[in-house]
Structures are given as structure tokens and as C-alpha cells.
Amino acid sequence: MKPSLQLRLGQNLTLTPQLRQAIRLLQLSSVELEMEINAALESNPLLERPEDAEPENDASSADSGDSEAEPAPSESSDGGDDDETRYEDLAPDWELSGSGSGSREDDDRPEFNTPVEDDLHDHLLWQLNLTPMSERDRRIAVALIDAIEDDGYLREPVEALIETLQPDLADVDVDEVEAVRHRLQHFDPIGVGSRTLAECLGVQLNALGPEADCRELALKIIEADLENLAKLGPARLAREYGVDEESMQEAVELLRSLNPKPGSQVGGGGVEYVVPDAFAYRHNGQWDVRLGPGSAPRLAVNKHYSGLIATAGKSDASYLRGQLQEAKWLIRSLETRAETLIKVARCIVRHQSGFLDRGPEAMRPLVLREVADEVGLHESTVSRVTTRKYLHTPRGTYEFKHFFSSSLATSDGGTASSTAIQAMIKRLIDAENPRQPLSDARLAAELKASGITVARRTVAKYREAMNIPSSNERQRIG
């Protein structure tokens, strides 16, 4: 064995830094993109936002004299006055007043600050700090609160909780843990920390006091016949208890006034605001798309710093040239992202124009490959550009992926979208007689009469996906 040199020829695919950056920017949401741009502006002195930038949707901005600024792709499309007026009617004023690329001082858009809300655990710990309790019981209570799930129930076994306490607390038994748990059940919201639905409702009923009408009857029902109430109904259960139907109905109404998931009253993750990445609007009888504010931010190269490269020293000039190259890469990547986004959005709107005109029942089957072949992109690229991107339509704001669905064959040889079939099922259920609801088999027969052959189990799957109860449960509710 001895060292030697060998020459080999081969081909392989390599992701350049520019391509890596373009792919990363493509899959960012509008909020993440704004954060990325702000970070780049802070770290790169060669980047700036044009101070005289016009709103992104103004067609005249394409004539900007700054050669380094990257115009939004939407600016080159249909810049007519009638087009602009229609878009102003569709979009809120704040969306047109700023392009998302101007300075924050000049941006008139409202700041959406989501209020910070305490979750269930923080709410219970706050009450625990205000409750007189020994240090030993307090540590047990903290362990219990940590184990309580978001809906307010405690499903972790007592033995597992004791194991977590044993390194710090010795000789903890089941009765001691249960005593602390019963104290937690009377925290706000009442019933939190319960293990079963019957226990949760029982704690809430006991908190009402004996003066509540039909409380004793309601307690008997949840202790022995809570499941039979759903199966038999109030009238039949009243005969078994030997009470009149009016009293049984009052007890049922009292049970319905209770909260089966007490944890849902607190927190919930706060309100999330969605900023549309694109807007669908009608122009001259045709649907078209414009990019939303912030989807095509305008950046430019700072002429002052770029002009210093020729006169700066060797090290400074090298640094400025590197920053200049990074700035140009970012501007080019943002332009590519905007062009890809508008192409995919327009393709989706062309395919789903029936949904925009007539509603969910007119949704067409559509898959990623179909869009990829039409716009000349790879399927993975379309998947990235449709993730966490939202399209505002006159029917609401939807994620791009909402417009993709599988297809089912129809009796006339065509296809129907699964989304459209779900809309048809919901329409049939909304129009049914509440006392005689349609079963899954009957729904399948109704769809077959409309030319769509769907199995009963498929109807059941779509119904459950829409959180619609079965026909038996709907009959009891009715």
C-alpha cells in the first residue's frame, strides 16, 4: 500500500447557497418572511427598503428608477384603473395603504398584537398560590396540575403521580393524593381534575347547592344512568324513575347547562390572525389573483455603501462586496418566491373558479402534480408554496391546500371532488327532518341519485371528518 493520486469523473446534483436560500424562503409564511427580512436588514448594511416605495399593487411602481429594487410580480399584471378599483373594494384599506416593504414609522397598517393569555395550568397555579395549604400538599398539588390535560381531566394513574413525588416526598399514599385532588376540583373552573365525565358533572352539581331545581334527580342520573340517558332518552328514563316527564326534562336541561370539558373555559391558545398571501378578485368577468401585502416585499441595495467599495481599503472592500452579493441574492430569491406564489395561486383559481362562483359543492378534484405540470415546477416545490400560504376569496380566507382534494368517479364517467361531496352531505343533513334524520346508507342513496356513487362507510368517514354526529344522536338532539 502506498499513497497515489486518482482522477475520477462523475456527475452529481449540488444545492448552491442561492438555491438553498430560495427554497428556504419559499416555504416561509408571510410572518416568518417578514422576520427573515428584518433580520437581513439589521445584519446587512447594503440592504434597505426604498423610502419612496409605492404600494406593491400600484402598477406605476414598476417604473421605479432604482435598478436594484425588485418589483413585485403582481405589479406587471393588469394594472388598469378598473382592476385597481375592484381590488380596493375587496381588500381592507390598511392592506392597500402599505406594501409591507416600507418603514414601520410610515406603515399605516394596524399592529395585530395577540393578547397573552394564561393557559389552564397557569390559571390553576395562580389559584394554588392564593390557597392556604401545607408545603407537602402544595407539592402534591403542583404535580397534579402538571398532569391535568387541556380539557381539564386527570387521566394519569395515581401510582404514576406518586412515583414522580417519591424522590422528594416520602410515604405519599393514594388517599393523600386524592384528598389534594378533591381540593383542586373546586378551583376555577369547577370540576377540573376529575377522572370521568360523571365525576366532573357531579362536582359541578354539588357546587350548585341543594336549592337548585331537580339537582337530586340529576345526581341520580349521572351516578347510574348517564349512558342510558343518551340511549333511552328523557321520556323513557322518566318512566323508569317514576317521575313526570317535565321533572326529567328539567333535570336534563340542568345537566346540559354544565360544562363537560371545564378546561376549555381557560386559555385555548389565544387568537391567531391570518394575513392572506394572495387575493382572488373578479375582473372583466374573469377571476384573477394579486399578491397580498408583504408577499412580495421590495428591497434595494444601498447606493451609498455600494459606492464605497471602490474607495475602501482591501479588507473593507472585501466585506462590502460580500454583503453586496448576499443582498443581490436575497432580492433575487424574493422575486423568485413572489413569481412562484402568483403562478401557483393563479393556477389554483383557474381550476377552482366554480368554487368561487357557486360554493363548495362546485369544488373540482385537484392534486399537486396537476398544478406542478401546468406551471412547470416540481411537485415538491408546489407543496412548499402551498403550505401555510392563504388565499383570500369572497367566500373566505383559505389555505392553499384547502383547494386540493381527491376525486371520486361519477355515474356519467366524470369525477367529483371529496370536498364537494362533503358539502353535499352537509347540505342534505341540514335539510333533513330532525325527528327522522338521514342514516349513512340513506345519504349514500341520495348521493347515488345525484350521480355520485359513494359507499356507506365513505359517507360515514366524511360525516365524522365534519364532526357531524350519527343519525341516532341527531335524532335524540332533535
- Residue 389 CA to residue 346 CA, distance in Å, equals 13
On whether both 250 and 167 belong to a single domain, the answer is yes
Whether 388 maps to a domain, the answer reads no
Domain count of the chain? Answer: 3
pLDDT over 60 (residue 36): yes
What cell does 73 get? 410580480
- Residue 20 CA to residue 70 CA, distance in Å, equals 20
- Residue 317 CA to residue 308 CA, distance in Å, equals 8
Under the banding of pLDDT at 50, 70 and 90, the label for residue 215 is confident
The pLDDT of residue 296 is 81
- Residue 268 CA to residue 262 CA, distance in Å, equals 12
Under the banding of pLDDT at 50, 70 and 90, the label for residue 127 is very high
Query: With contact defined as beta carbons under 8 Å apart, do 142 and 121 qualify?
Result: no
Question: Which of 450 and 389 is assigned the larger pLDDT?
Answer: 389
The pLDDT of residue 330 is 93
On whether both 329 and 256 belong to a single domain, the answer is no
The pLDDT of residue 256 is 87
pLDDT over 80 (residue 455): yes
On whether both 308 and 207 belong to a single domain, the answer is no
- Residue 451 CA to residue 65 CA, distance in Å, equals 59
- Measured CA to CA in angstroms, residue 116 lies from 112, 270, 271, 431 at distances of 12, 7, 9, 41
Mean pLDDT of the 130-134 span = 92
Residues 6+ apart with CB under 8 A from 115: 270, 271
| Most distant CA pair in the chain, distance | 102
Query: With contact defined as beta carbons under 8 Å apart, do 140 and 169 qualify?
Result: yes
pLDDT over 70 (residue 160): yes
What cell does 394 get? 369572497
Whether 202 maps to a domain, the answer reads yes
Whether 359 maps to a domain, the answer reads no
On whether both 125 and 261 belong to a single domain, the answer is yes
On whether both 260 and 142 belong to a single domain, the answer is yes
The pLDDT of residue 314 is 85
The pLDDT of residue 376 is 93
Type of residue at 31:
V
User: Which of 55-69, 197-211, 264-278 is the least confident region?
Assistant: 55-69
In DSSP terms, 280 is beta-bridged to 289
The pLDDT of residue 180 is 94
Domain that holds residue 88: 17-105+274-348
- Which DSSP string corresponds to 284-314? TTEEEEEEPTTTS---EE-HHHHHTTTTS-H
In DSSP terms, 287 is beta-bridged to 282
The pLDDT of residue 331 is 93
Least Cα distance to 290 among 36, 112, 95, 37 occurs for: 95
- Residue 459 CA to residue 379 CA, distance in Å, equals 30
Which tens digits make up the pLDDT trace of 238-254? Answer: 888 888 888 888 888 89
The pLDDT of residue 186 is 93
The pLDDT of residue 142 is 93
Give percent of the chain with pLDDT exceeding 70: 82
DSSP H helical segments within 386-431, as ranges? 418-430
Under the banding of pLDDT at 50, 70 and 90, the label for residue 54 is very low
Whether 139 maps to a domain, the answer reads yes
On whether both 23 and 52 belong to a single domain, the answer is yes
Mean pLDDT of all residues belonging to the chain: 81
Query: With contact defined as beta carbons under 8 Å apart, do 251 and 219 qualify?
Result: no
The pLDDT of residue 271 is 58
Question: Which of 338 and 210 is assigned the larger pLDDT?
Answer: 338
Whether 2 maps to a domain, the answer reads no
**The last residue of a domain, from among 325, 348, 371:** 348
Residues 6+ apart with CB under 8 A from 73: 291, 296, 335, 338, 339, 342
Query: With contact defined as beta carbons under 8 Å apart, do 218 and 254 qualify?
Result: yes
Q: Which residues of 11-23 are buried (b: 16+ CB within 10 A; e: fewer)?
A: eeeeeeebeebbb
Under the banding of pLDDT at 50, 70 and 90, the label for residue 469 is confident
Whether 170 maps to a domain, the answer reads yes
- Residue 3 CA to residue 60 CA, distance in Å, equals 66
pTM of full prediction above 0.75? no
Question: Which of 334 and 236 is assigned the larger pLDDT?
Answer: 334
Under the banding of pLDDT at 50, 70 and 90, the label for residue 171 is confident
Look up cell 405540470; give the residue. 373
Under the banding of pLDDT at 50, 70 and 90, the label for residue 268 is low
Whether 76 maps to a domain, the answer reads yes
On whether both 209 and 245 belong to a single domain, the answer is yes
- Residue 24 CA to residue 33 CA, distance in Å, equals 10
DSSP H helical segments within 51-196, as ranges? 81-90, 93-97, 120-129, 135-147, 158-165, 174-184
CATH number at residue 448: 1.10.10.60
Type of residue at 336:
T
User: Which of 93-107, 270-284, 411-425 is the least confident region?
Assistant: 93-107
